[in-house]
């Protein structure tokens, strides 16, 4: 019987081999497939069990925090609601949905088990606590932006030109990030869309700052170059005229900017040429998604579209560079991009990487990371920047941008824009204003746009006062 017993034991060993094989199959060979299986609720529960870190404004105002949801899980609330929802976003693990900083900063907000407890699982506390993300956003500026927009669709972006810190980022229509599932009405107007970074519009005359930069920085023009301000002129075989077909005669390039003379800037852009214009646009950040610490999937680059709605490759010979030079001709830009244009001029031609995050602080008070200012591109020489700065001051002092005047001896350097949008002949406009202040020591760069004014209002009339309010708020806080 003993030999049978030995053989029987061999069979048992074989059976245990089967058990080890199947255990390895699930723990090793098919583990990834099982972890990713749609029926597997473990990843979701694991997410819900993490106490995500807070998101805070620059003055410590809590923008997002985790609250106990029972059974060891955590939910998310946004005490400031719609005021910051576009920038902060939301996190809805149960719906598999998230947006904004909640996505781009997820790595920090989730935190990670310390390396020691990862090795010895027993010694860790059961709750994983994430790091706090401190942003550069200013609550007072956000409130001013919301108040000044007064419900109109549009965006306000304010940057610190020296550091690239985003001081304000507000857009309408907005939503309450405590309830990110939009109702029908909200959905119809795209309330979840952060227009500041993911919607693009014709920039109109604000783009003349880019054209002027290319013209002066290449040495082809100076602020005092005398140019022909008569209307109309022929651009790409089609007549182009000034507002009200006004002729200005022989004027300086500075005056042409002060009064936003289309019939000067279109030929200037043609003279500078497609290749050079494209080169300067790239330096300003066009043709790339903004280097902002925000989810790439929620941002879009600024570029030129053909009449058929296709993106032209950068520098395409098919572009109507004259009309692009005045911010039309299929050019589509994001409000953040135009704030970056103002910021580069303000900071002696240095374009800083824009960022929403100031620092990340661990629950134990340790600083995980601090975002240092980084140069994105040296767009133009400091001399050119100074010359453009002076030209932009005349716009607010005596030109199309007078409603932006700050008073108190503080000079605002700016540029208005009133792009034609919608079907031709209806006179719908896209009002813009970009600029920076104080002009002699820039601390704030700003871009404001309003989406489609049916009554054809100009950037100077409606966008400039909003920019003024936001800049005043920020300067009064000592920003």
Partner 1 sequence: MSARNRELMGLLPASLLITAGFAGVFIQRKSELTNVSLTYGAIFLGLCLAAHVFIRITLPHADPYLFPLVSVLASFGLVMIYRISSDDARQQAQWFVIGLLLFAATVIVFRDYRKLEQYRYVIVSVSLVLLILPRVPGLGEQVNGAYLGVRIPGTSGIQPTEFSKVGLVVFLASYLRDTRQVMVQGARRVLGITIPSLKHFGPVLVIWGMAMAILFLLSDIGSSLMFYGALLAMLYVATGRLSFVVVGLVAFGLGAWFLGTHIPHVHARFEDWQHPFEPKIYNAVLGSYQLANGLFAQAAGGVFGQGFGQSILTTASGSPLIPEPQTDMIYAVITSELGLFGAVGVLLTYLLFVYRGFKVAILARDSFSKLLATGLSAVFALQVFVIVGGVTKAIPLTGVTLPFISYGGASIIANFVLLALLLLVSDRARRPVVRT
Which residues in this chain contact partner 1 in the complex, by CB under 8 A? 1-2, 4-9, 11-13, 15-16, 18-20, 22-28, 30-32, 34-35, 37, 39-42, 44-46, 48-49, 69-73, 94, 117-118, 120-126
Provide, rounded to whole angstroms, the least separation between the CB of residue 1 and partner 1.
5
Provide, rounded to whole angstroms, the least separation between the CB of residue 45 and partner 1.
5
Q: Which residue do the tokens 């549009």 mark?
A: 154
Provide, rounded to whole angstroms, the least separation between the CB of residue 98 and partner 1.
17
In 404-464, beta strands by DSSP E = 413-420, 429-437, 444-450
Provide, rounded to whole angstroms, the least separation between the CB of residue 421 and partner 1.
47
Contact 123, 117 (CB under 8 A): yes
Separation between Cα atoms, residue 439 and residue 124, nearest integer Å:
54
Provide, rounded to whole angstroms, the least separation between the CB of residue 115 and partner 1.
13
- Count CB-CB contacts under 10 A for residue 240: 20
Provide, rounded to whole angstroms, the least separation between the CB of residue 135 and partner 1.
29
19 vs 67, beta carbon nearer partner 1: 19
Separation between Cα atoms, residue 75 and residue 98, nearest integer Å:
13
49 vs 377, beta carbon nearer partner 1: 49
Separation between Cα atoms, residue 230 and residue 242, nearest integer Å:
8
Provide, rounded to whole angstroms, the least separation between the CB of residue 27 and partner 1.
4
2 vs 185, beta carbon nearer partner 1: 2
Contact 133, 55 (CB under 8 A): yes
DSSP secondary structure letters along 125-140? -S--BPPEEEE---HH
32 vs 424, beta carbon nearer partner 1: 32
What tokens appear for 217 in the block? Answer: 């920085």
46 vs 226, beta carbon nearer partner 1: 46
Separation between Cα atoms, residue 166 and residue 159, nearest integer Å:
5
Can you give the length of the chain in residues?
479
27 vs 310, beta carbon nearer partner 1: 27
44 vs 181, beta carbon nearer partner 1: 44
In b/e form, how buried is each residue of 8-35, taking b as 16+ CB within 10 angstroms? eeeeeeeeeeeeeeeeeeeeeeeeeeee
């Amino acid at each position: 019987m003993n030999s049978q017993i030995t053989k029987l034991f061999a069979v048992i060993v074989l059976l245990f081999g089967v058990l080890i094989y199947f255990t390895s199959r699930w723990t090793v060979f098919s583990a990834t497939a099982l972890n990713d299986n749609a029926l597997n609720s473990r990843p979701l529960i694991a997410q819900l069990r993490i106490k995500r870190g807070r998101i805070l404004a620059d003055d410590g105002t809590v923008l997002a925090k985790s609250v106990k949801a029972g059974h060891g899980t955590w939910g998310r609330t946004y005490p400031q609601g719609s005021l910051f929802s576009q920038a902060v976003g939301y996190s809805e693990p149960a719906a598999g949905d998230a947006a904004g900083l909640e996505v781009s900063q997820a790595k920090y907000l989730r935190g990670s088990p310390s390396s020691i407890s990862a090795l010895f699982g027993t010694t860790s506390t059961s709750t994983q606590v994430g790091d706090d993300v401190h942003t550069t956003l200013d609550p007072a500026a956000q409130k001013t932006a919301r108040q000044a927009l007064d419900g109109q669709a549009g965006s306000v972006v304010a940057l610190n030109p020296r550091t690239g810190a985003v001081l304000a980022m507000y857009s309408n229509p907005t939503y309450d990030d405590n309830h990110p599932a939009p109702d029908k009405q909200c959905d119809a107007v795209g309330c979840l869309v952060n227009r500041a970074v993911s919607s693009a519009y014709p920039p109109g005359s604000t783009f003349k700052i880019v054209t002027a930069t290319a013209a002066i920085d290449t040495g082809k023009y100076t602020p005092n170059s005398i140019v022909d301000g008569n209307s109309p002129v022929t651009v790409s075989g089609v007549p182009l005229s000034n507002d009200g077909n006004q002729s200005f005669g022989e004027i300086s390039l500075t005056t042409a900017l002060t009064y936003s003379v289309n019939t000067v800037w279109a030929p200037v852009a043609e003279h500078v040429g497609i290749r050079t214009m494209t080169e300067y646009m790239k330096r300003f950040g066009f043709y790339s998604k903004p280097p902002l610490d925000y989810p790439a999937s929620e941002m879009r680059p600024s570029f030129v579209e053909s009449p058929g709605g296709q993106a032209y490759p950068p520098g395409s010979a098919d572009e109507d560079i004259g009309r692009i030079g005045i911010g039309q001709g299929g050019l589509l830009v994001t409000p953040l991009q135009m704030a970056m244009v103002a910021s580069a001029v303000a900071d002696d031609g240095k374009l800083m990487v824009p960022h929403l995050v100031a620092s990340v602080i661990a629950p134990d008070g340790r600083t995980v990371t601090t975002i240092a200012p980084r140069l994105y591109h040296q767009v133009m020489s400091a001399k050119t920047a100074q010359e453009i700065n002076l030209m932009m001051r005349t716009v607010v002092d005596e030109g199309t941008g007078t409603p932006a005047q700050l008073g108190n001896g503080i000079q605002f350097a700016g540029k208005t824009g009133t792009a034609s949008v919608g079907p031709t002949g209806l006179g719908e406009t896209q009002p813009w204003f970009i600029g920076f202040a104080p002009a002699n020591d820039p601390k704030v760069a700003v871009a404001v746009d309003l989406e489609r004014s049916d009554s054809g209002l100009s950037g100077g009339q409606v966008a400039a006062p909003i920019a003024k309010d936001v800049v005043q708020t920020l300067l009064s806080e000592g920003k």
